[in-house]
Amino acid sequence: MKKTVICSILLVLGQLSTLRAQSQEDIAKQFAGMWRLVSNPQRLVGGTTREGSNSVGYAFFDATASHMCFLSMNHSRPPWKSETTPTPEEGLSAIRGLGAYCATIEIHAKEGFMIRHYEINQIPNAVGRATKRWYTFQGIDRMS
């Protein structure tokens, strides 16, 4: 009797771990590829939101959802008078209107968030830092 109960428990635990692994694999498949930014809402201190200035962007996830990169740009950056020799103000405007980072990521599918560990970041102080980002999938081709 004890042997049957123990075997049953081991069988159930084995099936649950397979389901969990399959679930992580399914989530990785959903993330894999290139995503175009369609909205960039920013939450403000008072709880209100506004559209962020960097409204053009792409996120790239590898096939295992363990690495990602993100690039964004303010589409209303002014053009330079000379493409090869920007003024200091033009150069600063270009840098301020560009967002970029690459990170290793941990997906927490059950809870609906990822932890990003920045390896490359336009802000030098952010390299090595980890941040949490909540996500939801809305159908097969939209994530927020």
Decide if 41 is inside a domain.
yes
pTM for the full predicted model: 0.75
Structural domain harbouring 63? 2-134
For tokens 């209100």, what's the residue?
A: 48
32-55 pLDDT, tens digit per residue, is 999 998 888 888 888 898 888 888
Contact in structure between 143 and 135 (CB atoms under 8 Å): yes
Q: How many domains does the chain have?
A: 1
Decide if 144 is inside a domain.
no
- According to DSSP, the residues that pair with 108 across neighbouring strands are 113
50-73 pLDDT, tens digit per residue, is 888 888 999 999 999 999 999 999
The CB-side HSE value for 68 (13 A sphere, CA atoms) comes to 23
Decide if 140 is inside a domain.
no
